[in-house]
Structure 1
Amino acid sequence: MANRPRRRRDGLSRRYTRTAYLMLLPAILFFAVFTYLPIGNLLTTSAHSGPQADVFAGLDNYSRAVSDPAVRHSFVITVIFALVTTVGAIVLGLALAMLLDKPLRGRVVFRALLLVPYLTSVAIVGLLWRNILDPGLGILNRLLTALDLPPQQWLITHPLETIIGVMLWQHVGYAMVLFLAGLQGIPDVYYEAATVDGAGPARRFRHVTLPLLMPTTLFVSIISVITGLQAFGQAYIITDGGPANASDLYVFHVFNVAFEARDFGYSSALSFLLVVVILAFTVVQLRYGRRNEVQH
């Protein structure tokens, strides 16, 4: 008789497990078909060469990628692009979130306006800023001329800085929303206790806000780095990778290898290397972020 309740609990546990796997099945199938299967196909294609990627090449494409100066150049500027946009998104997003967390008139409208660029497609944002920065007809140079300031060749003299600015303009609103949610999740009792202990605004920010926002900061940093490493539209639409490959982001370079040079095996190897790099960055960020959470 004593074993009957145990068997009943075991039966319920198995039933709950089957139900859970049944609920997860659509997500598992989605990732299998649209993520893991393409990655496997990418890995297979990367081991081949030729116009149709039908000649087995082993690791030749990977050794070629490591020794290719164009790949190293695009990778370096892409890492710079990703790190700068990540730091910018964290700093500006947190600053805007703290500003709009205060009881200001019209703050809901400002929050919505700051989020609109993130909800706009990369193609529209790229075309918009390419027209704004046009050296002859762009509104920005017309404004400089009206102020008796010399017009600038934005896309020629500062191409990488320009697409970094456009990237921040588009994505800082998303970071702001995440930080705003994190700020609103901090109980007021922590700030009240810090105030009683004599902590001013700077100390409250350093010892209360920043530590309790660490999970949000970690999430924003991971998403921003991944987005920056995968950036394509900014270089494709605004600068076309130029001038002189100064804004030749990694994915844009892979695109040119695949669809301009028609070297699908080599482009697949470059794409798989990017997957490895993104995974490595994510693991490092998670370990560092969790270590900081434990310390605080």
Structure 2
Amino acid sequence: MRQLTTGPPRRRRLRGPLAVFAPSLNRRYVLTAYAFLIPAFAFFGLMFYLPIANIITNSFNTGPQANQFAGLENYTRAFEDASVQNSFTVTFIFGAATTIGAIVIGLALALLLNQPLRGRVVFRAALLVPYLTSVAIVGLLWRNILDPQLGILNRLLMDLGLPTQSWLNTHPLATIIAVTLWMTVGYTMVLFLAGLQGIPEQYHEAATVDGASPWQRFWRITLPLLAPTTLFVSVMAVISGLQAFGQAYIITGGGPANATDLYIFHVFNVAFTSRDFGYASALSFLLFIVIVIFTVIQLRVGRRNEVQY
């Protein structure tokens, strides 16, 4: 009997007259591949790696043009600057709230719109529209809605006989968190919806036959199998939250009393108001390090909870 062998398939060798041209053909394929990759390498080099290198270089300099070497002075100053500590605290609260809210609300909406409801396609599209709108338009829209004198929200409260609110003065951070969630939950809903539709239905059917309740099916089947989607959503939400800028710049201007002074908005003011580009570069690079640390921690923790099916 012929013995079966297992292992990787062998590469088929050229025979006959073509065998003479095999090395040149392989070299030709490699050169062709690199020729198609050169534009992508050039794009990433010019638009991504070169700016990062420039920021790192400027972070060790000082002066209006960032042309005077200062060593680690900018980094030492950053750790001692109370305004930087305040902006990072505000950004951390903002990022944590928007990340948790996006996951919870997005998953709830995905579970609801995954049911056979009439008009669910329309609701999915309507929830996704704010995410497709630019931050500038969303900011201007909500700044007008929340205006204490002419805003439609206070006008509605007056019609209902309720006291009006100065939203951007009494609850500024909570307000921009709510606006950000309004803008982003549609995107997280779509991601969770794709994850839900990728779970094999026979798992839920088997659990139903075994007498599992809807909550048990969600907790024991749906949530563990959504771990890769949840990991992706959380990583992207944290990165987006730490890099938020438009909400503070357009809606609140960082106020009142620096209550919404998000980190990137603070870096913007340092660079273009104080004209201290070296210090702003150091602050930007520190944020880059923080984002990398958070991302690595999330990936390591999240991959431990993934379930293969």
**Separation in structure 2 between the aligned mates of residue 175 and residue 119 of structure 1, nearest angstrom:** 13
**Where in structure 2 are the equivalents of 1:121-132 lying within 5 Å?**
121-132=134-145
**Separation in structure 1 between the aligned mates of residue 47 and residue 33 of structure 2, nearest angstrom:** 22
| Matched positions, count | 295
Which residue number in structure 2 is paired with residue 236 of structure 1? 249
**Separation in structure 1 between the aligned mates of residue 253 and residue 207 of structure 2, nearest angstrom:** 52
Secondary structure of 1:254's counterpart equals helix
Secondary structure of 1:109's counterpart equals helix
Does 2:53 match 1:37? no
**Separation in structure 2 between the aligned mates of residue 158 and residue 266 of structure 1, nearest angstrom:** 31
Change (3 A) 1:11 1:193: farther
Change (3 A) 1:189 1:11: farther
**Where in structure 2 are the equivalents of 1:57-206 lying within 5 Å?**
57-206=70-219
Does 2:308 match 1:290? no
Paired amino acid for 2:283: L
**Separation in structure 2 between the aligned mates of residue 125 and residue 46 of structure 1, nearest angstrom:** 33
Secondary structure of 1:293's counterpart equals coil
**Separation in structure 2 between the aligned mates of residue 79 and residue 208 of structure 1, nearest angstrom:** 32
Q: Is the 8 A contact 2:224 2:307 kept in 1?
A: no
Paired amino acid for 1:246: A
Paired amino acid for 2:88: F
Does 2:69 match 1:51? no
Secondary structure of 2:306's counterpart equals helix
Which residue number in structure 1 is paired with residue 5 of structure 2? none
Post-superposition CA distance 1:206-252 (Å, at most 9, x none): 11111111111001001110100000000001000000000000000
Which residue number in structure 2 is paired with residue 270 of structure 1? 283
**Separation in structure 1 between the aligned mates of residue 23 and residue 106 of structure 2, nearest angstrom:** 49
Unaligned runs of 5+ in 1: none
Which residue number in structure 1 is paired with residue 235 of structure 2? 222
Change (3 A) 1:97 1:18: farther
Which of these two proteins has the greater Rg computed from alpha carbons? 2
**Separation in structure 2 between the aligned mates of residue 295 and residue 108 of structure 1, nearest angstrom:** 30
* TM-score where L is the length of structure 2: 0.90
**Separation in structure 2 between the aligned mates of residue 206 and residue 176 of structure 1, nearest angstrom:** 18
Identity of aligned residues (%): 69
**Separation in structure 1 between the aligned mates of residue 153 and residue 78 of structure 2, nearest angstrom:** 40
1:149, CA displacement in angstroms?
0.5
